[in-house]
Amino acid sequence: MERMKQRLKVSYRALATLDEVLAIPSPTRIERDASIQRFEYTFETVWKTAKQYLLDYEGLDIGSPKGVIRSSLSVGLFDDVEAALALEMVDDRNLSVHTYNEALAEMIFGRLFKYAVLMKKWLDEVNKRIG
Q: Tell me: the pLDDT tens digits for 37-90?
A: 999 999 999 999 999 999 999 999 999 999 999 999 999 999 999 999 999 999
pLDDT at 1: 75
pLDDT tens sequence across 102-112: 899 999 999 99
| pTM, two decimal places | 0.95
If one counts every other C-beta atom within 10 angstroms of the C-beta of residue 58, the result is: 15
Instruction: Tell me how far apart the alpha carbons of residues 115 and 93 are, in angstroms, rounded to a whole number.
Output: 11
Q: What is the arithmetic mean of pLDDT over 124-130?
A: 97
Q: What confidence category does residue 8 fall into, taking pLDDT thresholds of 50, 70 and 90?
A: very high
Cβ–Cβ under 8 Å, residues 72 and 50: yes
Q: Which CATH architecture has domain 2-130?
A: Up-down Bundle (1.20)
Instruction: Tell me how far apart the alpha carbons of residues 32 and 52 are, in angstroms, rounded to a whole number.
Output: 30
